[in-house]
């Protein structure tokens, strides 16, 4: 029988599951374990996504060096295909790595460049870790693409070998990745969980990180649920039902998993959003990298903010209110902006005179 939830309870479950309630964690590894991953993205209008997501949970307890240390020195986290995940979860991904790729074009390109593949593995064994620019292009067949990857043969080979679990990212120099043999990065005793079992476990973990989600996202994980005012097809983590909730105010990354599923955000939170960095400036409604604003169990607006490091200010061009801000909400949002500026090492928040709020 399906659980019946009102939207307020569903929202609170989603907020708690994303570690955005008032009970703040204190440890980066615990945050990533609950979220299951941090998405990497180079856009840094305010801060890189992984750092902004971690800050949103940990506030001043987090510094970007903590992420670097966890990946490069402690090896408690690992980077794979633009995601940072707990090393403890590696076994949930190894079977799929070994079966990659399923797509025939990639298989054929790897087969045609097997000598190049063996050369890269040998070079890393003898000289790794290396940046991609330190790996000569010895491909026999260039990588064909109509996009930016056309003929980027070294990058494609490194990406493919990492996807297969033969090599891994051992760290970074600035934004550039350092590549090495997987056996030097991943623990030798990581147990390979069979693919079907691993996928089911990943779905269960994903649902726990979301609280409530569509079956199209999490499959048969959890238990069925009906949420008032929405269409069917929900799954719920039963352990999160009926738990106490205390909210807070938070500024979110546009890639934050609370808002990443735009349809879910609209259904549960009445929150309309799209990332407008690729939208012509004249056509933007909210801003290049507008930060969604969470207040307790509601998404209440967007902040069009940019870190101006030359002037050492967090520039706020607009505060868009989805609901009228009370004095309490306005004060909480400005406090978050001050905290964000301080964490970024900026000396002030500069709010445009035309900004709402």
- Residue-wise pLDDT tens digits, 210-236: 999 999 999 999 999 999 999 989 999
pTM here is 0.94
The predicted structure's pLDDT at residue 194: 97
Q: By the 8 A CB rule, do 211 and 236 touch? A: yes
Residue 58 covered by a domain: no
The β-bridge relationship of strands 3-5 and 223-227 is: parallel
77-89 pLDDT per residue, tens: 999 999 999 999 9
Residue 1 pLDDT grade (very low, low, confident, very high; cuts 50, 70, 90): confident
Q: The domain spanning residue 153 has which CATH number?
A: 1.10.10.10
Report the C-alpha gap between 245 and 13 in whole angstroms: 8
Look at the block and give the residue holding tokens 């097809």.
233
Residue 276 covered by a domain: yes
Residue 298 pLDDT grade (very low, low, confident, very high; cuts 50, 70, 90): very high
Q: What percent of the chain has pLDDT over 70?
A: 99
Residue 196 covered by a domain: no
- Average of pLDDT values for 94-115? 95
Residue 192 covered by a domain: no
- Beta strand residue intervals within the chain, DSSP E: 3-5, 38-39, 77-80, 83-86, 130-131, 167-173, 176-181, 212-214, 223-227, 234-236, 249-251, 291-295, 298-308, 313-321, 348-351
Residue 24 covered by a domain: no
Residue where one domain finishes, among candidates 127, 156, 184: 184
Residue 280 covered by a domain: yes
- Average of pLDDT values for 104-125? 97
Residue 355 pLDDT grade (very low, low, confident, very high; cuts 50, 70, 90): low
Residue 313 covered by a domain: yes
Q: The domain spanning residue 342 has which CATH number?
A: 3.40.630
Residue 54 covered by a domain: no
Residue 353 pLDDT grade (very low, low, confident, very high; cuts 50, 70, 90): low
Residue where one domain finishes, among candidates 143, 168, 184: 184
Q: Which domain holds residue 154?
A: 93-184
Pick from 231, 247, 336: nearest CA to 22: 247
Number of domains comprising the chain: 2
């Amino acid at each position: 029988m399906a659980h019946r939830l009102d939207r307020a309870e569903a929202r609170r479950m989603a907020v708690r599951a994303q570690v955005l309630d008032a009970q703040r964690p204190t440890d980066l590894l615990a945050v990533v374990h609950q979220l299951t991953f941090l998405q990497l993205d180079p856009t840094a209008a305010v801060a890189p996504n992984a750092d902004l997501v971690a800050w949103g949970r940990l506030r001043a307890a987090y510094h970007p060096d903590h992420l670097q240390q966890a990946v490069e020195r402690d090896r408690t986290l690992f980077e794979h295909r633009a995601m940072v995940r707990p090393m403890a979860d590696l076994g949930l991904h190894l079977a799929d790595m070994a079966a990659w790729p399923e797509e025939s074009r990639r298989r054929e390109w790897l087969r045609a460049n097997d000598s190049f593949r063996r050369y890269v593995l040998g070079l890393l064994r003898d000289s790794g870790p290396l940046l991609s620019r330190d790996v000569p292009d010895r491909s026999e067949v260039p990588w064909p693409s109509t996009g930016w990857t056309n003929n980027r043969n070294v990058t494609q080979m490194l990406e493919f070998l990492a996807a297969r679990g033969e090599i891994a990212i051992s760290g970074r120099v600035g934004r550039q990745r350092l590549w090495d043999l997987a056996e030097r990065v991943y623990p030798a005793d990581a147990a390979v969980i069979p693919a079907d079992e691993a996928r089911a476990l990943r779905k269960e973990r994903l649902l726990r990180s979301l609280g409530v989600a569509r079956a199209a996202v999490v499959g048969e994980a959890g238990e069925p649920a009906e949420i008032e005012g929405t269409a069917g097809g929900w799954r719920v983590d039963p352990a999160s039902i009926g738990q106490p909730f205390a909210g807070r105010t938070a500024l979110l990354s546009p890639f934050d998993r609370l808002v990443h599923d735009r349809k879910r955000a609209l259904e549960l939170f009445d929150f309309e959003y799209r990332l407008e960095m690729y939208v012509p400036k004249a056509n933007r409604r909210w801003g290049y990298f507008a930060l969604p604003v969470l207040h307790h169990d509601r998404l209440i607006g967007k902040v069009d903010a940019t870190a101006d490091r030359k002037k050492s200010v967090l520039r706020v061009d607009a505060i868009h209110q989805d609901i009228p801000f009370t004095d309490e909400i306005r004060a909480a949002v400005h406090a978050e902006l001050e905290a964000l500026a301080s964490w970024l090492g900026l000396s002030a928040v500069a709010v445009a005179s035309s900004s709402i709020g």
